[in-house]
Copies of this chain bind each other. A is one copy, B any other.
Amino acid sequence: MNVLVTLNANYIHPLKVMLTSLFVNNPDETFQIYLMHSSLTEEEINDIRTKVEENGSKLHNITVGEDCFSNAPTLMHYTKEMYYRLLAFKVLPKEIDRILYIDPDILVLNPVRKLYETDLSGYYFAAANHNIISYTEINKIRLGTYDIEAYYNSGVLLMNLEEQRKHIDENEIYNFLVKNKTKLILPDQDIMNALFSKKIKSLDEKLYNYDARRYRYYKIATNGECDMHFVIYNTVMLHFCGKRKPWKDTYSGRFHALYKHYEKLAIS
């Protein structure tokens, strides 16, 4: 299976934790891990490579150089990193037709095979909509000139590279950015939703992008079905959304002990 990760040096530690959780909960799989970055050192890359190879998988380094996405506007605080998820299809090997992007602030708790094999015919991505009505509505208003039905989270993205290569025009992305630069909060996620909302296949967030802050919400919304037992036995992607992160000393939350457990596995 192909997995895409993109990061800067600040996220190496959580990336290793995420990869460890991916490996231990998918012991029979071999992964081709594509690491897309612009600033990691040789030493940092080798550190990640060791972790990947220990687990029988393979690391493919993709250094994004100055010449890449050279038409891209880098306005205000937006850096080139924000295009990685949207334009990965341009730098990934031509022979791979799908890849699973996973944010580094995620724990993979269960096998990813079923997600990976999701039928993507006619779609560019599969992603989960974090179904908070007010949140979705605000984003629709904010990006109002674009016809979006749901606002998808870009932390877990199954990508149909074949379809993307055929239909996505990078200039459309750059133009959108220039036009909406004052409105964007999470630029890549906003762009994905505004431009491609109808080309995103909806995934069940409880399985594939569970927001770790919202345990009570999921439990109540499912009449108790989505309880802790459900999460540990079924949820594939547990996403530590938001500013408070479980690798920080000040974190506190229902999945804190579990995160530290995987962190310990990752560094041992």
Contacts and interface: CB of A to CB of B under 8 A. Distances in A.
21 contacts: A109-B261, A227-B249, A228-B251, A228-B252, A228-B256, A228-B260, A229-B249, A229-B260, A231-B257, A231-B260, A232-B257, A232-B261, A232-B263, A233-B264, A254-B254, A254-B257, A257-B257, A257-B258, A258-B258, A258-B261, A261-B261
What does DSSP make chain A's interface, helix, strand, loop or mixed? helix
Q: Return the 4 tightest CB-CB contacts between A and B, nearest first.
A: A232-B260, A257-B258, A255-B257, A228-B256
Nearest to A233: B264
Interface residues of A, number: 19
A101 B92 CA distance: 55
Interface in A221-268: 227-229, 231-233, 249, 251-252, 254-258, 260-261, 263-264
A29 B263 CA distance: 23
Interface of A: 109, 227-229, 231-233, 249, 251-252, 254-258, 260-261, 263-264
Contacts of A231: 257, 260
Contacts of A263: 232
A264 B232 contact: yes
A111 to B, nearest CB: 11
Nearest to A246: B228
Contacts of A258: 257-258, 261
A135 to B, nearest CB: 25
